Structure 1
């Protein structure tokens, strides 16, 4: 037992990743004991609703656009590990767990204990490696959430919801907007209702959707924060 604890908390990178992973484990345990359980309906990211999958933006055959969509670097980074297509906490937990396993293995392979506190710098390449691995690890997770159908959940109604633009749109251009629903990040294909320019980062509100539900019509949201 003492050897296991020493491995989990020595050297420093192991201690950091063990602590981070334990926090996620505690979160899921609390979620279960508080009555939410581990069911998939907790996230409300219902893949059954139309137009809610960001990958539609990347497919020019699916959308009739007259302008270039320019997602931010952060938006592209989130897309790469499928944030928005699976619950955020699931993605975060997987990231920590994979990083934790790589860190434990690295402590053996590279004898990190001999580097003292400087061994913490090994976390930088480990996080980078984990990020790229997450692209492939999350693929079956996304498929799983599509297949389970979120038992008991209804399709999300986005009309009237407020969000933030993640690209600039005007005229007939179609862009990307981000919405937070029960702590989960959901991105939708959106279009300016009046054709006015709506810039990246602007607060917007959904006012309508197209008959084919490929994208939503939005307008600028006037509130106390942007007056």
Structure 2
């Protein structure tokens, strides 16, 4: 046990050990206190066709529970419309599931692979060990993608508080980003003072400028994408 501890706090493994410990503390705090620690709050605005199955809550809110079903071929076909970071997030399930959920799995596998590699080669205390540190990133991402994929079905019909999906039609909010045509963006609405973000698209593709009060008037069939129009239109 002492040898394992020494390896974990070695010069190569210490950064991941500290990060993993911080994530464990994060989950303990959010579980026991319900604190909404939105370290990675942000939106992903995408120009995509509506035949892509994006979940209504596809953004980077830590507490958002979503089910962004983006097939590999769809992402590859639209690589010209999505930047590298967006493709990366989609492909490795950092958008299709709560960000911190996927991120925790990734760090856990990265730490485990680095620990195993440096332990077997006894390189945890020298520069050679950093080859395992950086070389384990891609394998950890691939394992994370495989392990987290089954959880998408579990999270499909739940919102950010773990409740059954709510009715969004008729809800109002203020659009933060201008949209038109097939462009998608997120809209924050409040239900019983609980902020929830949904993916939205302009009705009939009409342009809507930023900071415009809007209302949700419809939903794309079989998709978690909602149609909006200016309030009092």
The answer on whether the counterparts of 1:82 and 1:138 sit within 8 Å (CA) in structure 2 is yes
What residue is the counterpart of 1:64 in the other structure?
none
1:223 corresponds to: none
Q: Secondary structure at the match of 2:173?
A: coil
Which structure features the higher share of helix residues? 1
1:127 deviation in Å? 1.5
Aligned with 1:106 (options 113, 117, 129): 117
The count of residues paired between Structure 1 and Structure 2 equals 191
User: In the alignment, what sits opposite 1:30?
Assistant: 29
Normalised TM-score (structure 2)? 0.61
Q: Match for residue 218 of structure 2?
A: 210
Q: Which segments of 5 or more consecutive residues in structure 2 lack a partner in the other structure?
A: 36-61
Q: 1:130 aligns with which of 140, 147, 154?
A: 140
1:46-195 equivalent positions in 2, closer than 5 A: 53=68, 55=70, 70-113=81-124, 116-117=126-127, 119-146=129-156, 152-155=163-166, 157=168, 159-160=172-173, 162-164=175-177, 170-171=180-181, 174-178=182-186, 188=199, 190-191=201-202, 195=206
Check the 8 A contact 1:44/1:153 in 2, yes or no.
no
CA distances 1:17-65 after superposition (whole Å, capped 9, x unpaired): 11111000111112233257xxxxx934255xxxxx4639x86xxxxxx
The structural deviation recorded for 1:130 is 1.4
Return the offset for 1:117. Answer: 4.2
Superposed CA RMSD in Å reads: 4.2
Segments of structure 1 that go 5 or more residues without pairing to the other structure are 37-41, 48-52, 60-66, 221-227
1:182-208 CA-to-partner distances (Å, cap 9, x unmatched) read: 9x996736246563398xxx7887543
- 1:121 deviates by 4.7
- Taking the aligned partners of 2:219 and 2:85, their CA distance within structure 1 comes to 30
- TM-score for the superposition, normalised by structure 1: 0.63
Alpha-carbon distance in structure 2 between the residues aligned to 1:9 and 1:31? 26
